[in-house]
Amino acid sequence: MAQDLLDDIVALAEAMLTAAGEGEWGVLVALEARRAELLAALDLSGKEGTEAVHATKRIRRILELDRQAGELAQQHLHELAGLLNNTGNQKKLLAAYGGV
């Protein structure tokens, strides 16, 4: 059960990374909400041996995917900040010089 949940969570993390790479931020948010539900249902207590090793690998994969998606989100935020700054400068120029 926990292994299946972890595999589903990895699949969602992979889909989230794809969504981030494609700039589909609304899709990413929806996937994150679904993943949060699965994480809430996940119980890894008492896992030993092969199960614990598998769980550890899956968790590391999830963390790596999250890191990659986070980097893409940061890049997008920097792009948005640049656009907002540019728009603000354009408004200031228009206010100062009018529609020359």
Q: Is 0.75 topped by the overall pTM?
A: yes
User: Is residue 72 within 8 Å of residue 23, measured between CB atoms?
Assistant: no
Q: Would you say how long the chain is, in residues?
A: 100
The tokens of 19 are what?
């969504």
pLDDT tens over the chain, length 100 residues? 788 999 999 999 999 999 999 999 999 999 999 999 999 999 988 889 999 999 999 999 999 999 999 999 999 998 888 888 877 777 776 777 776 5
Could you tell me the domains of the chain? 2-95 (1.20.58.380)
Residue 100 has a pLDDT of: 53
Residue 44 has a pLDDT of: 87
| Signed CA dihedral, 39, 43, 48, 51: sign only | negative
- The single residue listed with the structure tokens 């981030």 is 20
